[in-house]
Amino acid sequence: MFKRILIANRGEIACRIIKTARRMGIETVAVYSDADKDALHVEMADSAIAIGPPPAAESYLVIDKIVAACKQAKAEAVHPGYGFLSEREAFAEALKNAGIVFIGPNAKAIAAMGDKIESKKAAAAAKVSTVPGHMGIIADEKEAVKIADDIGYPIMIKASAGGGGKGMRIAYSKSEVAEGFARAKSEAKSSFGDDRVFIEKFITDPRHIEIQVLGDKHGNVIYLGERECSIQRRNQKVIEEAPSPLLDETTRKKMGEQAVALAKAVGYDSAGTVEFVAGQDKSFYFLEMNTRLQVEHPVTELVTGIDLVEQMIRVAAGEKLSIRQSDVKLNGWAVESRIYAEDPYRNFLPSTGRLTVYRPPAERVEDGVTVRNDTGVYEGGEISLFYDPMIAKLVTHAPTRQQAIDAQADALDAFAIDGIRHNIPFLAALMAHPRWRAGKLSTGFIAEEFKEGFKGIPPQGEAGDILAAVAAAIDHVQGERKRRISGQINGRGWSREKDRVVTLGNSVRRLAVEREQDAISIQFEGKKVRALSQWKAGDLVWSGTVGDHAIAVQVRPVPNGFDLAYRGVQTRAYVYTEREAAYAALMPERKLADTGKQVRCPMPGLVVSLAVKEGQDVKAGEAVAVVEAMKMENVLRAEIDGTVKKIYAKKGDSLAVDAVILEFV
């Protein structure tokens, strides 16, 4: 076994690898860019080596720097994590030439699966299901219909030189094939000057399901079940789970055996993932193979009890797999949420800055429920604009899918983050979504269910009642605390009015509130509940019970009230007496200043370029600037016609959210 390994990565995956290496008694060496000198993975590793400036292209992606760091640290092996150099054939070769072991598959397997066309050829040769289609030239409508009949409906007719949806038609019947073929050829000719089209099977409401494989250097390969990763936004996975609610044992076995066949065909010898696109009818077709550890590997670890990082290290050291296929049993259900530094209320724009608060729920194994949090950050640390916006991966495991989802919802509610915007409200809303809970998933889920983007959930129904009860309980506890302040002048006896008016956003609830021993009694219209908690002023999370519900609610003080968050509902709460409520209703609302003549930065970022000058006339919709954050460039456009009066930023400036970039006359 290795004595010392280097981790050619950063963030949560570097920390994750260090944990397993430490348990195995292996020393770890971290590498870091200038932006990461105070990062958690640097703190956790036994030693660390600086490798260059913040941009990944000048540090984490420079093969020579990683190899030099290995030699400096006398590391025997390198774990690449995911991303960066993890699927670079050249990196594996460079390490081999330097006499350093790559903790991953051999370079030939990486190359074979790295080319998408070649990988599909390899998959077809290994008898892996590929999307049925006819790639040859189609002579006429009659041949098109015959091909479509052979493939099975629905089918997609695509322009060979196509793109942007031009020359593309979906057909559900023979008559639609004939018409679609003519239209697709005509569009292809006019758009691309090339009327060739091909036909392939169209997968309706596709799902993204992947099989985890594990091979060694002695020809043994097994599969460790599947993960469903259909909840995606802009092709980026958001929530993953294992197993899939779609598959049965028969389909799982078929997919697993095909994944193993492909892995054996290319001599695969590490942890890897074979990705499939699946139909709602359980049909499935090869998509690609990722020759590395996946981001979502924890859900597989929790349902199988197998540490994938440990297995990768053991395999790289030449050990045979100690697990046979018959040893692999799927136990319970696991759900993972990716917590990103992004603003769900602003179309998920990246958010950077300092984590003034970072307090995840406690990791635990209790009453059949596991809560795990893989992270690479800490309270007081910085979310940099140079790297991926992931803050953490929150994973829950329980005996059933519904229990795992409920545990995930509870854990998200208890996760306190301040200083930057984050997607926890969106994730919490997803956990409560009826379609998600029913397992009726597809890769179009988020686009279909949140057509207008995420606007939050109003404080209605049961969630609204719970928030009103928590608001009333907090107000009561704070009132009691004020009465205990020392040095108050003695006067008439004090008694508290029971009647309260709670406003949550635009909704109003009238309650009766009083102390009942260790709990707060809250009388709604027609029902009574007890709120029990150890919450005290300054706590960021109200944990306790409201009636029969064990809950966690985020609490942040604001003047005369507090902001609450629970199950994807974010609202501002005020608790009044009846008289205070009457006066509050008369208070004028403060209106925001008109900023229509300004272009503001929608997120913290770096000014890449400015497309206008002072005095220039600009039309609405015209690009005025490009701002970059976390590998994402955003083109900012004018919302009105006007003349540029003043430009406040220049190329290379780092801007805060809502910073004014320019102003129109």
Q: Give the residue numbers annotated as catalytic, written as ranges.
A: 288
- Residues 177, 153: Cα–Cα separation, whole Å: 10
- The tally of CA atoms less than 13 A away on the side-chain side of residue 100 is 30
Q: Which 3-state string (H, E, C) describes 112-128?
A: HHHCHHHHHHHHHHCCC
**Both structure tokens of 75:** 């590391």
Sorted by sequence, the CB contacts under 8 Å of residue 208 that are 6+ apart come out as 228, 229, 230, 232, 237, 275, 276, 277, 278, 287, 443
Q: Any alpha helices (H) in 543-577, and if so which ranges? A: none
Contact 540, 565 (CB under 8 A): no
**Both structure tokens of 427:** 């994730």
Beta partners for residue 335, in sequence order: 241, 396
Sorted by sequence, the CB contacts under 8 Å of residue 53 that are 6+ apart come out as 33, 34, 59
Sorted by sequence, the CB contacts under 8 Å of residue 590 that are 6+ apart come out as none
Q: Encode 298-314: b = buried (16+ Cβ within 10 Å), e = exposed.
A: bbbbbbbebbbbebbbb
Peptide bond into 80 cis (omega under 30): no
* 542 C-beta neighbours (distance < 10 Å), count: 26
Phi-psi region of 455 (alpha: psi -120 to 50; beta: other; left: phi over 0): alpha
Contact 135, 198 (CB under 8 A): yes
- Residues 663, 647: Cα–Cα separation, whole Å: 7
- Residues 437, 333: Cα–Cα separation, whole Å: 13
Pick from 447, 463, 331, 462: nearest CA to 398: 331
Amino acid at 660: V
